[in-house]
A and B are shown apart, each in its own frame.
Chain A
């Protein structure tokens, strides 16, 4: 009995889009390989979905990897309650549009104790709402593998991380005892309670991500494109002033300007950049001449040096 797939089920078979160049094609192939390997080797994988551009690319690749089947694991959004409103709206649309299994988790302790970035400071806030929240969600779901969209070019300790990053039952990462990872042969053997974080985008750079989004026409949260928006300047960062929970400090005023974001997270902790780039071509052009890295706009990475490694050791993805 020959297996058939009705032509109508095929996604966009008459596509006229430009083919990927060999560089992006190789990155895409590698990511798909990792997705399939994890899905086949682990009992209960989950994909961390943070709604940002890397997550959007990750999701796109997951859909490609399992096509013509559905994405065979749920998406998990560890929310803090302080995301940009546009992110949440976008997220809800995507989940519906692509028929995805979706889990949202907000740390109940943080919520009950009213943990906010303003009252607790960015480090503690991130600790509770993100790291602890993630651990809670992974434990509750009994997930033995979690995909993340982290890239090695983001930060110095990330540059050291394996594609299969082993975690203890307490979700700890031990950077001094990582398993060797040779060729594209991944060691997915774990004991009960242990888990693996898998990073299909490890070898992508920020420019690769943007070029891929362009060629593949991947939808993004509009905050990535420049627009006239209200903001306040605080600690050298441009904070979006749309959420009523943002209280102005003495001396602060709401300003207006054409701004956009290079990364998206919690609005009080994510700085915008002044920009005129209203579409992808312009964003990429701006990026190619950028003199600062994308993480510069993130308060949590600047709190202390080596802060990312510290957070990762404690279970942050």
Chain B
């Protein structure tokens, strides 16, 4: 039942910097949110990611006097503008300083009057994509940098794709080094347009594009009106202040059990961090994968016995009966359960040189559970075209692929789209013990799944704007490779339907 959309060409309308503004209601909610916003900078090598975060720290006064003095001392003569090398505030490893590149992700913390931020500055080098994925996995927002002189590169596309696969829905496109293209507005519009196409194919809708000079601090914290009076949009910091923190999903209660606490004969409590939903005494729960049922009697924390716990809370749960629960089990609400099974579909990013090998047995860790698995590649994303190509052989390093997971024993998952904790996993190589992939569950596989990719197809003719909206949904973009798309005029479309009717 794949949909082939026939639709009119949408004329992209890129006149201002802001492609999609954040809805006002969300902004209002965010203003009251005191949780820090987690963001990453990403993009290709040398596009200015570290410089941007360095500048952000500098302009928000997060750099102390002694650190500033060290920076000036270490900077030497690196640019004609007489400015310090802000990237050195981030590139803290000797090897990074020697080579002038970022190798591993740096975490930094800063605050404005309105909120606090945890920022992960990730490396642009393809070789270190694994470290970019590390930063992206926990982020709420991605600042994607593009060098205004070069535009979008394959690595830019890779980073945008990984960020979006990992569930980041808010993007800032920072068209950087704008000082080096004479603050040319046409160039900005061109890159923004190009990115919008990419974003559409990824199902990303919240995009703010900003022309920027990270080095000179234009449109970072302070506006760049002096050099680009035509740009009326927000500065980076203004966008960040209004962005939303990813909210805990509201599906059923999930508690991956980390350990069983038995301080004395009479007490048995299950310790873990609530990974979804909420729980209160009296609730009926199921222990998975065993399927046993029990009721919650108490929620204990150090400070008090609580009458409820919600996603994110680290708790100790007490049940009303003696049931067999051990580390790796999941305690879940009885009326909204995750999937249990031996076969799942997933998307993953291969992080190490050996790639992901078909048939090889890995360790999979998700939540507190570790079990044996094989991950057989099915298709791989072609970053140049944005389409999935069938490929059952090795998924090479930095490749983004769809895989079939097969377990020896029952596994328990939600779809990543529904729960970013119980739908995420890593693969560990049993020989090296290294983490070789990060993955996201898309669905449980059953015999029905195979029927789904059957012959049945539907041809639709839609108004272009509606089609664009549909294509921007996560569901659609995930299965984009199974669809055919032609853009045409309304007249041509109706002709096709007429012809088809004749054939029938």
Which A residues have a C-beta under 8 Å from some C-beta of B?
1-5, 10-13, 15, 17, 21-23, 25-26, 28-29, 32-33, 36-37, 39-40, 63-70, 152-153, 155-160, 175-176, 178-185, 187, 189-191, 202-203, 205, 290-293, 295-296, 305-306, 309-310
| CB 8 Å contact bits of B304-320 with A (1 = contact, 0 = none) | 11000000111010111
Q: Which of B130-163 contact A (CB under 8 A)?
A: 130-131, 133-134, 137-138
Quick check: A39 and B267 within 8 Å, CB to CB?
no
B268 on the A face (CB < 8 A): yes
- Give A187 to B107 CA distance when docked, in angstroms: 19
**Pick the contact of B108 from A1, A12, A153 — CB < 8 Å?**
A153
How many whole Å from B375's CB to the nearest CB in chain A?
15
Residues in B with CB closer than 8 Å to A15 are 303-304
Quick check: B269 and A68 within 8 Å, CB to CB?
yes
- Give A139 to B494 CA distance when docked, in angstroms: 78
With CB as the reference atom, state the residue of chain B lying closest to A33: B273
B109 on the A face (CB < 8 A): yes
B43 on the A face (CB < 8 A): no
With CB as the reference atom, state the residue of chain B lying closest to A191: B433
How many whole Å from A131's CB to the nearest CB in chain B?
18
List 19 A-B residue pairs with CB atoms under 8 Å apart, sorted by A's residue number.
A3-B267, A3-B319, A22-B34, A36-B271, A37-B258, A65-B271, A68-B263, A159-B106, A175-B103, A175-B104, A178-B131, A179-B434, A180-B133, A182-B424, A183-B421, A187-B365, A187-B428, A189-B433, A293-B67
Quick check: B137 and A70 within 8 Å, CB to CB?
no
Q: Which of B118-139 contact A (CB under 8 A)?
A: 118, 130-131, 133-134, 137-138
Quick check: B426 and A185 within 8 Å, CB to CB?
yes
Q: A3-B266, A159-B108, A182-B133 are in contact. List 5 more A-B contacts (CB 8 A).
A: A36-B314, A40-B258, A67-B302, A152-B107, A159-B92
Residues in A with CB closer than 8 Å to B312 are 25-26, 29
- Give A291 to B66 CA distance when docked, in angstroms: 8
- Give A297 to B130 CA distance when docked, in angstroms: 36
Residues in A with CB closer than 8 Å to B259 are 36, 39-40
Q: With A40-B368, A292-B66, A305-B74 in contact, is A181–B94 under 8 Å at CB? A: no
- Give A11 to B366 CA distance when docked, in angstroms: 32
Quick check: B35 and A22 within 8 Å, CB to CB?
yes
Quick check: A182 and B134 within 8 Å, CB to CB?
yes
B322 on the A face (CB < 8 A): yes
Quick check: B435 and A36 within 8 Å, CB to CB?
no
- Give A33 to B109 CA distance when docked, in angstroms: 21
Quick check: A13 and B267 within 8 Å, CB to CB?
no
- Give A187 to B428 CA distance when docked, in angstroms: 8
Quick check: A29 and B313 within 8 Å, CB to CB?
yes
Q: With A26-B312, A180-B435, A305-B70 in contact, is A69–B263 under 8 Å at CB? A: yes
Residues in A with CB closer than 8 Å to B133 are 180, 182
Q: With A4-B266, A5-B298, A159-B92 in contact, is A291–B304 under 8 Å at CB? A: no
Q: With A12-B303, A70-B263 in contact, is A180–B351 under 8 Å at CB? A: yes
- Give A5 to B321 CA distance when docked, in angstroms: 14
How many whole Å from A182's CB to the nearest CB in chain B?
4
Q: With A22-B35, A175-B93, A176-B103 in contact, is A183–B368 under 8 Å at CB? A: no
B65 on the A face (CB < 8 A): yes
Quick check: A293 and B66 within 8 Å, CB to CB?
yes
B286 on the A face (CB < 8 A): no
Quick check: B321 and A2 within 8 Å, CB to CB?
yes
Residues in A with CB closer than 8 Å to B64 are 290-293, 296
Quick check: B420 and A160 within 8 Å, CB to CB?
no
B301 on the A face (CB < 8 A): yes
Residues in A with CB closer than 8 Å to B363 are 189
- Give A301 to B56 CA distance when docked, in angstroms: 25
- Give A171 to B271 CA distance when docked, in angstroms: 31
Residues in A with CB closer than 8 Å to B195 are none
With CB as the reference atom, state the residue of chain A lying closest to B129: A180
How many whole Å from B122's CB to the nearest CB in chain A?
11
How many whole Å from B300's CB to the nearest CB in chain A?
7
Residues in A with CB closer than 8 Å to B90 are 156, 159
Q: With A28-B314, A187-B435 in contact, is A182–B95 under 8 Å at CB? A: no
How many whole Å from A311's CB to the nearest CB in chain B?
12
Residues in A with CB closer than 8 Å to B266 are 3-5
Quick check: A10 and B305 within 8 Å, CB to CB?
yes
Q: Which of B236-291 contact A (CB under 8 A)?
A: 258-259, 261-263, 266-269, 271-273
B185 on the A face (CB < 8 A): no
- Give A298 to B43 CA distance when docked, in angstroms: 37
How many whole Å from B244's CB to the nearest CB in chain A?
14
- Give A202 to B118 CA distance when docked, in angstroms: 11
With CB as the reference atom, state the residue of chain B lying closest to A310: B94
Residues in B with CB closer than 8 Å to A305 are 70, 74
Quick check: A68 and B300 within 8 Å, CB to CB?
yes
Residues in A with CB closer than 8 Å to B268 are 3
Q: With A39-B259, A157-B92 in contact, is A26–B35 under 8 Å at CB? A: yes
- Give A15 to B424 CA distance when docked, in angstroms: 37
B72 on the A face (CB < 8 A): no
Q: With A4-B266, A176-B95, A203-B109 in contact, is A292–B435 under 8 Å at CB? A: no
- Give A182 to B423 CA distance when docked, in angstroms: 13
How many whole Å from B261's CB to the nearest CB in chain A?
5
With CB as the reference atom, state the residue of chain B lying closest to A32: B314
Quick check: A11 and B267 within 8 Å, CB to CB?
no
How many whole Å from A44's CB to the nearest CB in chain B?
15
Residues in B with CB closer than 8 Å to A190 are 433
Residues in A with CB closer than 8 Å to B109 are 152-153, 203, 205
Residues in A with CB closer than 8 Å to B271 are 36, 65
Residues in A with CB closer than 8 Å to B93 are 156-157, 160, 175-176, 309
How many whole Å from B221's CB to the nearest CB in chain A?
19
B203 on the A face (CB < 8 A): no
Residues in B with CB closer than 8 Å to A63 are 302
Residues in A with CB closer than 8 Å to B421 are 183-184
Residues in A with CB closer than 8 Å to B298 are 5
Residues in A with CB closer than 8 Å to B435 are 179-182, 187
Residues in B with CB closer than 8 Å to A180 are 130-131, 133-134, 351, 426, 435, 438
Quick check: A68 and B267 within 8 Å, CB to CB?
yes
B116 on the A face (CB < 8 A): yes
- Give A66 to B263 CA distance when docked, in angstroms: 9
With CB as the reference atom, state the residue of chain B lying closest to A24: B34
With CB as the reference atom, state the residue of chain A lying closest to B88: A156
How many whole Å from B35's CB to the nearest CB in chain A?
5
Residues in A with CB closer than 8 Å to B322 are 1
B105 on the A face (CB < 8 A): yes
Residues in A with CB closer than 8 Å to B104 are 160, 175-176, 178
With CB as the reference atom, state the residue of chain A lying closest to B33: A22
How many whole Å from A212's CB to the nearest CB in chain B?
13
Residues in A with CB closer than 8 Å to B321 are 1-2
Quick check: B420 and A183 within 8 Å, CB to CB?
yes
Residues in B with CB closer than 8 Å to A183 are 137-138, 420-421, 424, 426, 438
